[in-house]
Every structure is written in C-alpha cells, then in structure tokens.
C-alpha cells in the first residue's frame, strides 16, 4: 500500500523520545521551550507557542485576537474543517472566500471584492485565515495590504507549509500576518505525532496564547489581579484549556525539525518526477507561482476538466491498486454541519469545480522513484 502522506522516522527520532522517557520531565520540562526556540530560529520569528495540535493553535490564536460572538472570520472553503471550526469554537460566524482555480488557494481578488461589499453592509471580518494549500503560500503581500485597508487580523493556517518560503523568507516569519500556525500531524511535512505551534512577533499575543494553552493560569506576580499568597500561588485570569504539548512530542519535533529541509528537498525531487511523467493532456499539477517555494505537503493534480465520474473512477481505481490517493479537500461549506448553518451548493463555484478535479497523489520523503513511476502508470491506465 502506498499512502498519500506518511511520517519518515529514523533511529535518531526514536533515541530523542527515549531520552525524554528516561528523564525527569515527560511534560512541562525543558524540551518544549527548546523546541519553541528552535522553530523561532528556523522561521525567523520571535515567539512560538507549542500546543497539542494545530487545531488547538488555531483556537487559541482566534481567542488571543479576541474573536467572540458576533464576530466574523473568513477562510478558504478548500481546507480541512479545523480552519473554520476554530472560529465556531469562539462563538463567531464563519464565511468563505472562493479559491483561485490553478493554486487552490484563497483568491486575493475575490477577497478584495468580498471586503468591499462587506464594508457597505458593515459586516467586515475580524480575522481572515488564508490557508497555504499543499504548502504553497497564498498571495500574502496582497492580503496583508487589504488587512490594513479593511482593518482585519490575519492568521496564516500554514499547517502544510513548514519548510516553504515566500520571497526567500521562511513561511512562519509572520511578516504578513499576526499569527502563523503549523501542524505536526504525521501526514504533514514533519511530525511530533500530534502537535502544532502558533508563531507571532507580538509579545502580548504570545503571552495570551501561553496562558490559554494552560488553563488561563499565571504564576507571574505582575499578571495577577490580587497579591500573591506565597511561592505556591498561581492565579487563573482567563478561561484557558489544557492544550499543552508534552516533552515527548517536543523531543520528536526537535529531532524532525533538523531534517525538515531535506524532507522538503526530497518532496520537490519527487514532485518534479511526477511533473515530467504525467500526461499533460489529462492532468496538470497545481500551479507553482514565482517567488513561492512550496513545502510540498501534498502533490495535487487536477483533471483538465472537472468531471465527477472520472474523478471518482480515478481515486477509487488508485485505491484498488493499493495507492491511497486522496482528495484535498471536500469544500467545507458542503459539509452537512455547515449546510445546516445555511451554506448552499453553488456559493463558491471555483471550490466546487476544483473538488471535482483535484486528486492527491502519494508524496512523502520515503517514497521511491519506482513507486512514483508505478503511481503515474496506474493513473494513465485508469484515465485510458
Ligand atoms: C492538518 C490540518 C489542520 C489541523 O491540524 P492538527 O494538528 O491535526 O490539529 C488544520 N488546518 C489544515 C489546513 C490542516 O491540513
């Protein structure tokens, strides 16, 4: 079986985790801050708050940006449901901005048009969450300009994108956003088993997210509203959660972070082989834009025409041959839970057309060239 995405684990990763098991701290020890510092150095950002998943990171990022009831959060319909659920956790309302068909990313022009309209209705979003599909950034320069004109905050859902770059700056530097999120789920570019991180250059946001990940509790005198009772004292100052990352997970993350560049290089090599071998009369890979270096979390091809039947035949046919192709993503607004909120088919036509043509082929560092050839041959056989 060839899966669409998978972790790459070596003895060094195993040793790093075992060392923590034999240490004094399984959680709340030194590995989490060490991991946070290493990520900051890697992406050139000031603060990192490691948590138990990217979903948790998105939640506390929204809370830190004071998303609450009556607020609006906009994201892309072509993403994992976590990108929009985070707003619902805060009691806010969600809306979507349609994608650009050739990259699958949120279309900045569509965002601009939607903002202009929302302004006339006095319904501007508080936060916009661009999602860097497959590891290639959105047009962050443009989106950031719009944020200044229309006064919204930006959370980059870069769950796919650690190791990617934008104009030679690492994704995660928060040059064009308030907060950036990475996921370390095993199918992503690098893993901590479960885990995620929220990055920011704003110390107040970082501190708020640190408190939110651990019950809303502080042990710092200057953050307390009443005098300390003594050295054992802590105070709850807001409603937080237990979203902490453990030291075991952080140790794995640290060990994997050392390899992230080689993972991404390998992903590019394999993607290039796909690009060369795939029959361009039938499919095209997601467009790679100049000045954007993808982390290539996913290798996504598009049928040259959306075709529900052929799309189904292709993904099922691959699975029959032991190749776990996938579809990233089912448009979020078409999920039953979202339809119950009032979203309807036809609202985001580019996303819906994309859904009938996008197929994710296997891509991960341990995939071999022969396996890529086998996948390509199988795709061609099925398409005829
Ligand atoms: C995987 C993913 C998430 C959630 O990540 P977890 O770490 O599994 O919570 C959020 N957004 C996107 C775009 C993802 O791909």
* 325 Cβ contact list (under 8 Å, min separation 6): 4, 314, 315, 318, 319, 359, 360, 361, 362
What length is written for the chain? 384
Ligand 1 center–CA 50 separation, angstroms: 14
Among the atoms of ligand 1, which is closest to the Cα of residue 328? 15
Pocket of ligand 1 (CB under 6 A): 53-55, 79-80, 82-83, 131, 157, 159-160, 183, 185, 196
Residue with the smallest CA separation from ligand 1 atom 6 is 54
Q: What is the pLDDT of residues 111-158, one digit of tens each?
A: 999 999 999 999 999 999 999 999 999 999 999 999 999 999 999 999
DSSP 300-343: EEEESS--HHHHHHHHHHHHHTTEE-B-S---GGGSHHHHTTT-
Q: Best mutation site among 185, 194, 328 for ligand 1, i.e. most ligand atoms within 8 A of its Cβ? A: 185
Confidence of residue 165 (pLDDT cuts 50, 70, 90): very high
CATH of the domain spanning 11-257: 3.40.640.10
Ligand 1 center–CA 80 separation, angstroms: 6
- For residues 12-36, one letter each, b for 16 or more C-beta atoms within 10 angstroms of the residue's C-beta and e for the rest, the string is ebeebbeebeeeeeeeebebbebbb
Q: Where are the domains of the chain?
A: 11-257, 260-383
Ligand 1 center–CA 159 separation, angstroms: 5
Class of domain 260-383: alpha beta
pTM (2 decimals)? 0.98
Among the atoms of ligand 1, which is closest to the Cα of residue 183? 7
Q: What is the pLDDT of residues 17-72, one digit of tens each?
A: 999 999 999 999 999 999 999 999 999 999 999 999 999 999 999 999 999 999 99
Ligand 1 center–CA 142 separation, angstroms: 24
């Amino acid at each position: 079986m060839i899966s669409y995405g998978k972790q790459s684990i070596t003895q060094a990763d195993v040793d790093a985790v075992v060392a923590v098991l034999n240490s004094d701290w399984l959680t709340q020890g030194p590995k989490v801050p060490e991991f946070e510092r290493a990520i900051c150095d890697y992406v050139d950002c000031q603060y990192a708050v490691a948590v138990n998943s990217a979903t948790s990171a998105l939640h506390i990022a929204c809370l830190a940006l004071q998303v609450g009831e009556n607020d609006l959060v906009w994201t892309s319909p072509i993403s994992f449901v976590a990108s929009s659920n985070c707003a619902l956790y805060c009691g806010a309302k969600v809306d979507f901005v349609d994608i650009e068909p050739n990259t699958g990313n949120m279309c900045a022009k569509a965002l601009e048009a939607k903002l202009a309209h929302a302004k006339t209705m006095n319904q501007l979003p508080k936060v916009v969450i661009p999602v860097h599909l497959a590891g290639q950034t959105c047009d962050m320069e443009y989106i950031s300009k719009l944020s200044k004109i229309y006064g919204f905050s930006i959370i980059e859902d870069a769950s796919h994108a650690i190791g990617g770059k934008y104009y030679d700056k690492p994704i995660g530097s928060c040059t064009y956003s308030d907060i950036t999120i990475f996921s370390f789920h095993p199918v992503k570019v690098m893993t901590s088993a479960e885990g995620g991180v929220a990055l920011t250059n704003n110390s107040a946001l970082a501190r708020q997210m640190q408190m939110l990940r651990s019950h809303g509790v502080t042990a710092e005198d200057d953050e307390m509203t009443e005098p300390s009772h003594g050295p054992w004292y802590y105070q709850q100052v807001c409603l937080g959660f237990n979203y902490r990352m453990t030291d075991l997970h952080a140790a794995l993350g640290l060990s994997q972070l050392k390899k992230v560049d080689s993972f991404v290089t390998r992903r590019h090599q394999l993607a290039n082989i796909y690009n060369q071998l795939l029959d361009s009369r039938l499919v095209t890979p997601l467009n790679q834009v100049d000045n954007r270096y993808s982390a290539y979390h996913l290798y996504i091809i598009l049928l040259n025409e959306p075709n529900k039947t052929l799309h189904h035949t292709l993904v099922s046919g691959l699975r029959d041959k032991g190749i776990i192709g996938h579809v990233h993503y089912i448009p979020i607004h078409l999920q039953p839970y979202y339809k119950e909120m009032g979203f309807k088919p036809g609202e985001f036509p580019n996303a819906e057309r994309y859904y009938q043509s996008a197929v994710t082929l296997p891509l991960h560092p341990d995939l071999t060239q022969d396996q890529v050839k086998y996948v390509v041959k199988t795709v061609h056989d099925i398409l005829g």
